[in-house]
Structure 1
Amino acid sequence: MLNLLPLGAGALLTACASVGPDFSWVSPPPLPSAAFPTDFGATSAALVPGAVDAEWWQSFDDPELTSLIQRAWAANHDIGIATARLDEARAMLRESRQGYLPQGGVGVSHDNFRRSEVETAPGQARRSETYRAAIDASWEIDLFGRVRRSAEAAHADAGSREALLRGVQASVAAAVAASWFELSGIEAELGVVADITQSQRDSLRLVEGLVEAGSANELDRLRAEAALRSVEVEAPELERRRTVASNALAILLGETPQTFVVPSSSTARPILAVKTITVGDPATLLVRRPDIAAAELSLAAATARIGVETAGLYPQLEIQGSIGVVAGSLGSTGGSSALSSLFAPLLRWSFLDTGRVRARIAASEARAREALIRYDQAVLRALEETDNAFGAFSAAGTALQLRLQEASVTEQAASLARAQFSHGEGIYLEVLDAERADFASRRALVVARTNQRLAIVSIYKSLGGGWVPCTRADIDCGGASGASDTRFTGLLPGA
């Protein structure tokens, strides 16, 4: 009868399917709160269909920016933490897959037992020795998919951690680009302040000369000096902002602010090279956005764990076996008489615990519903971020065009006012007003250029760009841990 048990177990193994719901890899899963759009509805001529460029920073034609992003991938602490969490999830996946295989090991023991006279039967020795050496093994026959569902959940967890690592990588790339552009913008503002300061000094000298010649009064001189001081006071605040931006960039690169050396910026190129941005469609957004992929995989893991708990309602079949030697002395362990073996099929069924099992099933189903809502929330937030980024990009482009026109007009007005005043025409108050407007418009133009660059960064971040598979030999994606051998292994569906 016992010899038929393995055959019966095999029949059950092939006949029984895994219990619990199967997760369907359909993108997107059904969204309970809203219909999924077919397009972004973007109206800007600069936003066109097409595959999103993963390495979008290359569009800026700025080698320093590319170098900074790669340095951050190799040394950033957030990436290092995400890498360690991915390594942990992969190790847990390897452990869960061991459930398909027999478990066991080698056991060696020596018992030296001495009985009391009361415990010893007549004619028996009070002392006895036993030497045992055996290979023990047990194997769970996965009749109802408990092991399989556990492995599915671990696989989905590892995929979610991989997606989160990609998300951190994309966020770091965007943060480096944003810090770099802010730093470049501040440098440009400092340049404007320096130019205007020199212009105000020249105006002050001009007014002082006119005062000496009797063509201007002391009030004009005081106004000219006040205008100079109002420009000079802008520099310390800009220096403070430059230090803050530099320190933020240093932390992103895993360096101390005190030792970080800021590369020379490319503020001499005011014209942005990026003319059009390929945005794809909402369906491809689901594939690219790491946070959406992570939410979908978390839903898959929660679904698989329903099956793990459901398997507790059914019997669990385990095959236990052992082979070894048992002898009363070391010299006797080599004989055939010392051989010992055990084959023990074991059927467990905790039918009295069905109430607890059903409670755990209900809890796992609730967690799966939560995961579905979180997925829905991630999709909606992605669509919101994308729409906001498109709006910001359009507004930034319009503002930049208007600022360019404004700067051209105010520059001409300031030049004309200075020329007229130097020839004795007009009053110095008109010069002051024109120069203030020129100063404000030139700074506003620098800010508008910076905002346009930041808007482009926001678009690519919202579209899911900014990470690359860690398969290229020239890119280290290990983060602060230095684990340069950490590679994306296709744990994500379709990867």
Structure 2
Amino acid sequence: MKRLDISWLTKPSLRSGMVLPLVVAGLTGCQTMDLSKQPTQPVKLPQSWQHGADFPQTQVNVDLAQWWSEFHDPVLTELIRDSLASNPDLKSAFSAVREARARRSIEKSGLLPTLNGVASASGSRSKDSSSSSTTYSSTEVYSAGLQASWEVDLFGKQQAAVAAAQADLASSVATRESVQASLTSEVALAYVTLRSAEARMKVVQENVKNFEQTYQLASWKEQAGQTDSLDAQQAKSNLEQLRSTLPSLEQTIGNAKNSLTLMAGKTPGALDKLLAKRSGKVPEPPRKLAVGIPADTVRQRPDVRSAGYSWLAAVYRTDAAEAEKMPSLTLSGSLGVDSDGLSKLLRPEQAAASVIAGLTAPIFDGGKIRSQIEVQSEQEEQAWQSYKSSVLTALSEVEDALIACQKNEQRAEITQRALQAAENAEQLARQSYEAGVEDIDTVLNTQRALLSIQEQVVTVQGDRSSSFVALYKALGGGWQR
């Protein structure tokens, strides 16, 4: 088995654009491992983000572990804290880590000898009728001892199995961190959905009042003979259409609340008192977010590290399969005593010891070992491709989130200008209608336009917050070592 330097897994290569970022120093506590082969196609990472011009670049951002505090929303912070403490999926991920740790201990035990204690007792009784009287005699035999056996790991098969179990443990830890990151982002996204729906509800309720006033004004004009009933019916139609959107928003609000309680591991309605605070206030993201270089970001992502450790585990299992071709040496020994009486059992002169060494090597197995090596090699290739896919996915998700943050900032500026113009137009149209200069169609059109822009403003606020949540997640935030 070759000794392979894998420091290239933990830091960017000196050659431009070449890196396979994976933090594996904790796997064995050193920078070298016994690996059977090295990937021939390392992952190529860009030097900078394609859409990161508006975001300052820094080293690994340690604040990502508590990124939600940047929104300065105490309700969101409490929701995430409760979810991290009570979410069933996260608890299951912690259990998986404990299971992987126990499996590693099982594999480590294979490197040590086994020692068993044995004890037995037997007796016999015989009858002698040769003399004039019948006599009986009995014999009692006691034995006790120790038996030991040890399969010497000549060619590293068991060491490879231990290393694979260690990599599995590291992968399960990273998976748990990935569950934490996903959970925090999902809670934040559901919270943004809730607050956006509540804000839209307030917009609709305020416009219902405006539409009611327009309908009342048209009714008064009809009663005064200034207009016919068409104006009043048009105003009433707009009013009822707007009211019809309220049930849908109420459903969205109810669903978002249920989603948050589910992620917090609670029953529906358990968080209503908490969620009643700050109702309708969409959390405001920070104006700017510092991002690291792609290599740092990929190393931060727990899902990428999990995939990398899974690949290492597959490599070690290939090594273990190849070691099956080599001979195996088993040492066994015993130390025991036999006596014809219990009182003599512990006398030194009764003791006897033996040591046996056995060497076995496979000669013919019908191709089983060769096929097993092929199976493990293909699983190794699949794990490597899965790792590469996780790296590319991470890069794509960050770029998507950067684009979303930039474009939502632009949308926010545009919709604010549109909102100001729509408010002015609606006010002028209403005044002109009251003065008899404009007809009802102008008022209704400007009211619908104002409503549409107001809803867009709320939507953009939610989208802007959601895009920053997505960026935090894509950068690998939401977990703590």
Q: TM-score, normalised by structure 2?
A: 0.86
Moved more, 252-261 or 47-56: 47-56
- What does residue 252 of structure 1 align with? 263
Residues 1:462 and 2:470 are matched in the alignment: no
CA distance in 1, matches of 2:163, 2:126: 53
- What does residue 229 of structure 1 align with? 240
Q: CA deviation at 1:71?
A: 0.8
Decide whether the 8 Å contact of 1:44 with 1:394 is kept in 2: no
CA distance in 2, matches of 1:442, 1:115: 107
CA distance in 2, matches of 1:38, 1:103: 53
Count how many residue pairs are aligned between Structure 1 and Structure 2: 444
Residues 1:274 and 2:283 are matched in the alignment: no
Residues 1:403 and 2:385 are matched in the alignment: no
CA distance in 2, matches of 1:275, 1:193: 28
After TM superposition, the structure 1 = structure 2 runs for residues 179-218 of structure 1, keeping only pairs within 5 Å, are: 179-218=190-229
Residues 1:423 and 2:458 are matched in the alignment: no
CA distance in 1, matches of 2:417, 2:126: 106
Q: CA deviation at 1:40?
A: 1.5
Residues 1:452 and 2:434 are matched in the alignment: no
After TM superposition, the structure 1 = structure 2 runs for residues 65-144 of structure 1, keeping only pairs within 5 Å, are: 65-112=76-123, 129-144=140-155
Relative to structure 1, is the Cα distance of residues 310 and 43 closer, same or farther in structure 2, using a 3 angstrom cutoff? closer
Q: CA deviation at 1:259?
A: 3.7
- What does residue 133 of structure 2 align with? none
- What does residue 167 of structure 1 align with? 178
Relative to structure 1, is the Cα distance of residues 270 and 250 closer, same or farther in structure 2, using a 3 angstrom cutoff? closer
Decide whether the 8 Å contact of 1:22 with 1:303 is kept in 2: no
Moved more, 222-231 or 340-349: 340-349
Residues 1:41 and 2:50 are matched in the alignment: yes
**Amino acid in the other structure paired with 2:298:** L
Relative to structure 1, is the Cα distance of residues 425 and 365 closer, same or farther in structure 2, using a 3 angstrom cutoff? same
After TM superposition, the structure 1 = structure 2 runs for residues 300-319 of structure 1, keeping only pairs within 5 Å, are: 300-319=312-331
CA distance in 1, matches of 2:153, 2:390: 35
Q: Deviations over 1:421-476 (max 9, x none)?
A: 1122210110000000011110111011000011001111111111112xxxxxxx
After TM superposition, the structure 1 = structure 2 runs for residues 301-340 of structure 1, keeping only pairs within 5 Å, are: 301-340=313-352
* Aligned partner of residue 82 in structure 2, secondary structure: helix
Q: Out of 263, 276, 280, which is 1:264 matched to?
A: 276
CA distance in 2, matches of 1:248, 1:222: 40
**Amino acid in the other structure paired with 2:368:** R
**Amino acid in the other structure paired with 2:60:** A
Decide whether the 8 Å contact of 2:202 with 2:280 is kept in 1: no
**Amino acid in the other structure paired with 2:321:** E
Relative to structure 1, is the Cα distance of residues 328 and 431 closer, same or farther in structure 2, using a 3 angstrom cutoff? same
Structure 2 unaligned runs (5+)? 10-18, 21-38, 129-135
Q: Deviations over 1:90-109 (max 9, x none)?
A: 10111212222221222222
Moved more, 177-186 or 351-360: 351-360
**Amino acid in the other structure paired with 1:132:** S
Q: Deviations over 1:329-355 (max 9, x none)?
A: 322212223323222222222233484
Q: CA deviation at 1:182?
A: 0.6
Decide whether the 8 Å contact of 1:40 with 1:387 is kept in 2: yes
- What does residue 41 of structure 2 align with? 32
- Identity percentage over the alignment? 27
Q: Out of 293, 296, 308, which is 1:296 matched to?
A: 308
- What does residue 30 of structure 2 align with? none
- What does residue 35 of structure 2 align with? none
CA distance in 2, matches of 1:292, 1:389: 18
Residues 1:385 and 2:385 are matched in the alignment: no
**Amino acid in the other structure paired with 1:318:** T
Decide whether the 8 Å contact of 2:59 with 2:296 is kept in 1: no
Decide whether the 8 Å contact of 2:163 with 2:313 is kept in 1: yes
Relative to structure 1, is the Cα distance of residues 115 and 418 closer, same or farther in structure 2, using a 3 angstrom cutoff? farther
Decide whether the 8 Å contact of 2:117 with 2:147 is kept in 1: yes
Q: CA deviation at 1:271?
A: 8.0
Q: CA deviation at 1:216?
A: 2.7
Moved more, 451-460 or 343-352: 343-352
CA distance in 1, matches of 2:127, 2:311: 64
Relative to structure 1, is the Cα distance of residues 116 and 426 closer, same or farther in structure 2, using a 3 angstrom cutoff? farther
Decide whether the 8 Å contact of 1:159 with 1:294 is kept in 2: yes
CA distance in 2, matches of 1:99, 1:309: 16
**Amino acid in the other structure paired with 1:24:** I
Residues 1:63 and 2:45 are matched in the alignment: no
* Aligned partner of residue 313 in structure 1, secondary structure: coil
Q: CA deviation at 1:388?
A: 1.4
Decide whether the 8 Å contact of 2:164 with 2:312 is kept in 1: yes
Moved more, 352-361 or 326-335: 352-361
Q: TM-score, normalised by structure 1?
A: 0.84
CA distance in 2, matches of 1:294, 1:273: 29
- What does residue 477 of structure 1 align with? none
CA distance in 2, matches of 1:58, 1:22: 43
Q: Out of 216, 230, 245, which is 1:219 matched to?
A: 230
Relative to structure 1, is the Cα distance of residues 126 and 165 closer, same or farther in structure 2, using a 3 angstrom cutoff? farther
CA distance in 1, matches of 2:40, 2:252: 43
Decide whether the 8 Å contact of 2:160 with 2:319 is kept in 1: yes
Decide whether the 8 Å contact of 1:21 with 1:307 is kept in 2: no
Decide whether the 8 Å contact of 1:179 with 1:245 is kept in 2: yes
Relative to structure 1, is the Cα distance of residues 150 and 227 closer, same or farther in structure 2, using a 3 angstrom cutoff? same
Relative to structure 1, is the Cα distance of residues 116 and 89 closer, same or farther in structure 2, using a 3 angstrom cutoff? farther
Relative to structure 1, is the Cα distance of residues 267 and 25 closer, same or farther in structure 2, using a 3 angstrom cutoff? farther
CA distance in 2, matches of 1:103, 1:116: 44
Q: CA deviation at 1:392?
A: 1.7
Q: CA deviation at 1:267?
A: 5.5
**Amino acid in the other structure paired with 1:51:** V
* Aligned partner of residue 275 in structure 2, secondary structure: coil
CA distance in 2, matches of 1:229, 1:355: 77
* Aligned partner of residue 256 in structure 2, secondary structure: helix
* Aligned partner of residue 210 in structure 2, secondary structure: helix
CA distance in 2, matches of 1:33, 1:341: 56
- What does residue 364 of structure 1 align with? 376
- What does residue 188 of structure 2 align with? 177
* Aligned partner of residue 133 in structure 1, secondary structure: strand
Moved more, 29-38 or 188-197: 29-38
Decide whether the 8 Å contact of 2:115 with 2:149 is kept in 1: yes
Q: Out of 397, 422, 425, which is 1:413 matched to?
A: 425
**Amino acid in the other structure paired with 2:431:** A
Residues 1:434 and 2:446 are matched in the alignment: yes
Q: Deviations over 1:145-200 (max 9, x none)?
A: 11211110000000001111110000000000000011010110111011001111
